[in-house]
Amino acid sequence: MAMFPVSVISLHLLLILSFAFVHGEIPTTLDGPFRPVTVPLDSTFRGHAVDLPDTDPRVQRTVKGFEPEQISVSLSTTHDSVWISWITGEFQIGDKIKPLDPESVTSIVHYGKLRLQLTHQATGYSLVYNQLYPFEGLQNYTSGIIHHVHLTGLEPDTLYYYQCGDPSIPAMSDPHYFKTMPVSGPRSYPNRIAIVGDLGLTYNTTSTVDHLTSNQPDLVVLVGDATYANLYLTNGTGADCYSCSFSKSPIHETYQPRWDYWGRYMQPLVSRVPIMVVEGNHEIELQAENQTFVAYSSRFAFPSEESGSSSTFYYSFNAGGVHFIMLGAYISYYKSGDQYKWLEKDLAKMDRKVTPWLVATWHAPWYSTYKPHYREVECMRVEMEDLLYKSGVDIVFSGHVHAYERSNRVYNYTLDPCGPVHITIGDGGNREKMAITHADEPGNCPEPSSTPDDYMGGFCAFNFTSGPAAGKFCWDRQPDYSAYRESSFGHGILEVKNETHALWTWHRNQDLYSSPGDQIYIVRQPDRCPV
């Protein structure tokens, strides 16, 4: 790209304005495929990728006894049910811990359509989890009591008030509220769906969440890597790069109180706006007896059973006329595995007359052109891409790479008008900083043997066999399938307008709240691309 004597921010605005000038309006995918655009790195912008300390009022415990805290709402598979989750009691960390008895506190939600008349009641279940390390000197952790209650029989697109807790103590929360999803149908959609990834709990995170909240979303989808508790030792010492700073640790440690800090910080948002989460690599959190993902699977409520899944790693749900499939990049994705078989069944049951839009999410991207994590989950792409393509997936959201990138419609590395748009949005603000190098830049193409994901293993990333990069592992310029990429922190908003048009807007943290960093209408063509 030619360099002009303007600031990076001005160049960014010129790019946006050039689209508007050429198209006269917000561009659509029907105008594509677009020539690849890379917005140069603003070297003056680094944000504030420093974790909030435990002394910050926003992460401190403010309740007493067994009063509820870390309250959140998540969706079930359909509009008529939601999950309410919260924690009571205090966590313990140290050499001598004694888990709380989850049966000692009941899990009850009072709810109704009038704030002062919570006439309905639902009862759920409770649990505690432990994070244990079989090494002397490491501190063990046991959680407070985690509660999950399933509310059913709800009306669509309706505001409900609720209080949660144990009325017999008494220890009930203040009144909160949430709004149910609209009924599924081709003309029925939530107004705004926020998409965010790799959040963490830094000052960048607070900027992202402030911006996201200002956009008044009806739903938040987090595409993995919530707390980054695994960038810490059990004594609370943290680092931007765990392996660089703690290479002598006998096991990859975590500091589990960071989960509690995150839950407290997020409560003002997620106690009223449903949040749906899929696992990322920072949720692995290996502990004694080779257990993994324990905090993730315990703290969040998932509509796994309702959607026919046997795992918290993959499930599906409807948000109006949008069907979301949340897939696991850290559990078997092979055709012989349970996840693939579940996906086949879930897609076969989907009725595009009821839910025209099909959106898929998983953590590690298939079509990122940044050097970090380049082609890391190629085996997952090889196994699943055909099925998703034939099923007519419209959009794919991923995180993992700490930057923003939007693809042209693509299938098997080839421009395809019926392929999905892949969006990498791992720029939520965590302390590992931004990804800024691209695999297609001179000297940045990684060694193929270094690319497979360490946790899942397998090697499927071979040299390209066709196209401009034939015989090479990386392109020598920004690939044709990459439409737009930029290293910055932010979040995205998806506004589905009808059964064929959805407005996608990426918001950068450093911009004004109403200013888009990237914006496009994603247009479905069911007549051209039949399922």
Cα(345)–Cα(349) distance, integer angstroms: 6
Q: How many residues does the chain have?
A: 531
* Token couple for 200: 């963490």
Short-list 107, 38, 140, 136, CA closest to 475: 38
Tokens of 82: 């939601």
Helix residue ranges per DSSP H, 332-417: 338-349, 378-390
Residue 469's alpha-carbon distances to 369, 399, 463, 480, in angstroms, are 13, 25, 8, 10
List, in sequence order, the alpha helices (H) in 192-246. Answer: 203-214, 242-245
Work out the widest C-alpha separation in the chain, in whole angstroms. 69
| Encoded tokens for 319 | 């948000």
State both tokens at 59.
């992460």
CA distance 105 to 107: 7
Would you say 507 and 495 are in contact if contact means Cβ atoms under 8 Å apart?
A: no
Q: Give the CA angle between residues 281, 285, 288 to the nearest 5°.
A: 145
Could you give the CA distance from residue 170 to residue 343 in angstroms, rounded to a whole number?
44
151 within 8 A of 109, measured Cβ to Cβ: yes
Q: What is the DSSP letter of 34?
A: P
Token pair of 402 as six digits: 């700490």
> 508: helix, coil or strand?
strand
Contact call for residues 274 and 290 (beta carbons, < 8 A): no
The Cα–Cα gap between 195 and 359 comes to: 12
Q: Could you give the CA distance from residue 504 to residue 495 in angstroms, rounded to a whole number?
A: 6
The CA distance from 3 to 387, in Å, is 42
Using alpha carbons only, how large is the chain's radius of gyration in Å? 23
Which residue, among 516, 499, 492, has the nearest Cα to 361 in the 3D structure? 492
Residues 93 and 134: beta-carbon distance below 8 Å: no
Beta strands in 114-253 (DSSP E): 120-123, 125-127, 130-131, 140-142, 145-151, 159-166, 171-172, 176-179, 193-196, 219-222
Active site residue 373: yes
Q: Write down the catalytic residue from 12, 147, 150, 373.
A: 373
Residues 6+ apart with CB under 8 A from 31: 23
For the annotated catalytic residues, the residue numbers are: 373
